[in-house]
């Protein structure tokens, strides 16, 4: 049958590649090649028809044999499938059991680790709380001590400032008193000095007056005739002039 289709394909190729006749739709083909291909088709068709008839004659036998083989294949496939399913189910159950056992083991380990972690965390938390409480108490105590010390120092500083203020006030009063006494003493000394200077000036004035009078008398004596005695008594300074 294959030769028939092959010969027909060659005929189609020859016709398609044939040279055309001008002014017509015909073509020129090689007669020998075409006849040879037609003979091949003629020779091949009866053999193919015989083969087809043989197939038709043995159709029931072929179908029965094919059905038998199909049933056998189906039975074998079903048996293989059941065996495979059974093996897969057994393997799945085994894997499931192993997975469940491993999961239980992991869960047990996880619970143990979780309990250890919780215990360690609780212990660390209590330790932190204890240290924080101790530190808080220490800081509160230190703050209270610092506060009391600051209050004590503040009171002492206040007392010192009050004392310094009183001392300053006393010093100011004493300085004022001393200044007043100094002013009074200065006034007294100034009065005494003024009185002394005034008395000395008065004595000097008296001395100058008597000196001027003596000088005047001496000048008059010089103008008078020679031999007149000069009176020195009046020229002598008084006792207070020293």
Q: Please write the tens of the pLDDT for every residue from 98-151.
A: 988 888 888 888 888 888 888 888 888 888 788 878 887 888 888 788 888 888
Residue 232, pLDDT above cutoff 60: no
H helices of 18-58, in order, are 31-57
Residue 2, pLDDT above cutoff 80: no
Residue 199, judged by CB atoms within 10 A of its CB (0-12, 13-18, 19+), counts as exposed
Contacts (Cβ under 8 Å, ≥6 apart) of 210: 234, 235, 237, 238
Positions of E strands within the chain = 19-20, 27-28
- Rounded CA-CA distance 30/18 in Å is 8
Q: Where are the domains of the chain?
A: 2-93, 202-224+231-241
CB atoms within 10 A of CB 45: 14
Q: Please write the tens of the pLDDT for every residue from 36-92.
A: 888 888 877 766 666 666 667 767 777 788 788 888 888 888 888 899 999 999 998
């Amino acid at each position: 049958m294959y030769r028939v289709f092959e010969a027909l394909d060659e005929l189609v190729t020859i016709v398609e590649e044939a040279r055309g006749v001008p002014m017509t739709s015909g073509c020129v083909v090689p007669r020998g090649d075409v006849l040879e291909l037609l003979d091949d088709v003629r020779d091949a068709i009866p053999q193919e028809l015989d083969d087809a008839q043989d197939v038709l004659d043995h159709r029931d036998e072929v179908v029965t044999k094919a059905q038998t083989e199909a049933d056998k294949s189906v039975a074998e496939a079903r048996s293989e499938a059941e065996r495979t399913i059974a093996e897969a189910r057994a393997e799945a159950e085994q894997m499931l059991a192993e997975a469940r056992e491993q999961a239980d083991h992991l869960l047990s380990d996880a619970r143990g680790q979780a309990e250890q972690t919780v215990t360690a965390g609780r212990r660390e938390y209590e330790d932190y709380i204890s240290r924080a409480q101790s530190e808080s108490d220490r800081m509160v105590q230190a703050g209270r001590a610092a506060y009391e010390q600051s209050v004590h120092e503040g009171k002492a500083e206040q007392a010192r400032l009050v004392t310094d203020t009183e001392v300053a006030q006393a010093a100011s009063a004493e300085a004022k008193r001393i200044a007043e006494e100094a002013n009074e003493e200065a006034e007294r000394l100034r009065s005494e000095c003024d009185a002394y200077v005034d008395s000395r000036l008065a004595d000097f004035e008296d001395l100058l007056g008597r000196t001027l009078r003596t000088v005047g008398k001496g000048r008059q004596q010089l103008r008078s005739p020679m031999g007149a005695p000069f009176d020195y008594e009046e020229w002598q300074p008084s006792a207070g002039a020293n």
